[in-house]
Amino acid sequence: MKFDYQDIFLYLEDTPLLFTQAYFWIFFAAVLLLYSFIYKNKPVRNAYLLFVSLFFYWKTSGFFFVILLISTLSDYFLGFKIYNAKKLGIKRMWLAASIFVNLFLLVYFKYAYFFTESINEVLGTHIEVMNHFAHFTNVLYDTNFRVDAILLPVGISFFTFQTMSYAIDIYRGELKPVRSMLDFGFYVSFFPQLVAGPIVRASNFIPQLYEDYHLTKKEFGMAMFWILNGLIKKVFLADYIAVNFIDRVFGNPTSYSGFENLMALYGYSLQVYADFSGYTDIAIGVSLLMGFRLPKNFDSPYKAVSTGNFWKRWHISLSTWLKDYLYIPMGGNRGGSVFMYVMLSVILFFITLIAASLWVAVGLVTFVITMLLFARFIPIFRTWLTTNINIMLTMLIGGLWHGASWNFVVWGGLNGVGIVVYKLWRKISPWEDKSTWYKRAWAIFLTFNFITFTRIWFRGESFEKSAQLISQIQHNFNAAIIPEVMSSFWKVFLVMFIGYIIHWLPTWFKDWYKEAFVKTPLVAKIFISFITIFVIYQVMSADMLPFIYFQF
């Protein structure tokens, strides 16, 4: 087949720029080559990486490139409006405008089908979804984008959260607006973390734009280590067990025994961790080679001793974002606020739409009013209730951030319940002292199994299939076929076993082999990298899977 060099600059849906494709690494090598000539000139360097990042997003998402530009330009100008406003009311008005623009884009693309289907079901209407952005582009530029479907822009949940935090930090007086539009655009669109995080705060990243490039020999070794580590996680662990076992079971739970469903559930806990942390490992390594430091996003989450501790180790950039911009403004552990009641109303509205029933709304409102009446007359209960409402709301919003469905409501709600219940249990638990190894191991075991249990709804393709998976485990476990299943899928289970063993290795041991790689001579690093990449591409599945968090 003849290669058309024009394809390099066109958006081709079947060839997006993914970290697992050789095409990406050719692209990155070309970027680094030119970067090596301009990296000392900071304005030129930043402008260059901005245009590289925009090109990356164009190749990854095509038309949605415009959505990224809208979000970037609106918050760039609104940031100045917020900062320069003299009166608090005016500041709030401009902040509200920023939040509205970002949430409108997020809701329109992520929840349009959900709202349309809910309204049609409740009111008996027949409203059809129309992509107004595509229609506008077709009229303006004579393009041919589909107007009868709304697809989700890759990374929209990440870059809208970044721009919102920028505006909020300016409003709080914690940040000054970025003067250069190019610099701000670079912050929003920096390509290694653009489509799946970590969510980068302006206060942490923007100061790096004005620093001289520096990369020590040790940091270079660390960058190579993280890239290789991420590729191994993605290809050897996540994709292999997904293609050969997990996707089959979750796609049709009733065709497999309860034991197979249970093993697929444990496998998915490993897959989602290896996939998502693998992406951020690569993003951190690629960024470091260009002189930029991204925040840590995972800290051995399956070593957590409680659900709350898990969320301090898992997707740290999202967890801290929700804490700083939702949980604390709602009152945190101090009590309630007006914002808490606003968010409570939003959550009740979403759940009512998901249920598509006014009776659900009546039941929820009755329950909430009853709880608030108890809180009004019992001060101790009021403090407990408002604090835990804030926790539950934060986790439910975290669930809905992933998608509007009963599956994500249940998943977020269960994680909230896990945190609330543990807060009560630790006051009377004889196991709370984790100084002995067996108590700590027991806490890790319970937490890991609870988190894995919640994955039933996170991974389930529908609420019905999640229910089928539970039913199979409960009523059709079929222990007699375990030897046959183990024999048939022994390679998958071996990879799962190795993956979990590596995850639960002591931190000191992981630091040791990481440092050992960093200290090897450059020639050895190149040789190890070459062998690793060669093996990766030999075992890579023909159907390369996109990173899981691209869908969010």
> Quick one: tokens of 164?
């919102």
The span from the CA of 360 to the CA of 450, in Å, is 27
Residue 402 annotated in active site: yes
Residue 46 scores a pLDDT above 80: yes
Q: 126, 402, 475, 503: which one is catalytic? A: 402
The span from the CA of 54 to the CA of 417, in Å, is 41
Q: What is the mean pLDDT of residues 283-302?
A: 92
pLDDT digits (tens, 9 = 90+) for 165-180: 999 999 998 888 989 8
pLDDT value, residue 9: 58
Q: What is the mean pLDDT of residues 56-66?
A: 79
Residue 128 scores a pLDDT above 90: no
Residue 3 scores a pLDDT above 50: no
Amino acid at 500: Y
pLDDT band per the 50, 70, 90 thresholds, residue 14: low
Higher pLDDT, 256 or 137: 256
DSSP conformation class of 323: I
pLDDT value, residue 425: 81
The span from the CA of 444 to the CA of 438, in Å, is 10
Residue 409 scores a pLDDT above 80: yes
Q: What is the mean pLDDT of residues 489-514?
A: 92
pLDDT value, residue 129: 66
Q: Phi/psi of residue 195, each to 5°?
A: -95, -15
In contact, 44 and 213? CB cutoff 8 Å: no
pTM score, two decimals?
0.87
In contact, 296 and 318? CB cutoff 8 Å: no
pLDDT digits (tens, 9 = 90+) for 456-480: 998 888 888 888 999 999 988 888 8
Residue 378 scores a pLDDT above 70: yes
pLDDT above 90: percentage of residues in the chain? 32
The span from the CA of 72 to the CA of 455, in Å, is 34
**Contacts made by residues 26-30, CB under 8 angstroms, sequence distance 24+:** 27/56, 28/286
Q: How many Cα atoms occupy the beta-carbon half-sphere of 180 within 13 Å? A: 15
In contact, 254 and 468? CB cutoff 8 Å: yes
Widest pairwise Cα distance in the chain: 78
pLDDT value, residue 153: 73
The span from the CA of 549 to the CA of 552, in Å, is 5
Residue 137 scores a pLDDT above 70: no
Q: What number of residues does the chain have? A: 552
Average pLDDT, the chain: 84
SS3 string, 20-68, reads CCHHHHHHHHHHHHHHHHHCCCHHHHHHHHHHHHHHHHHHHHHHHHHHH
pLDDT band per the 50, 70, 90 thresholds, residue 281: very high
Q: What is the mean pLDDT of residues 263-274?
A: 94
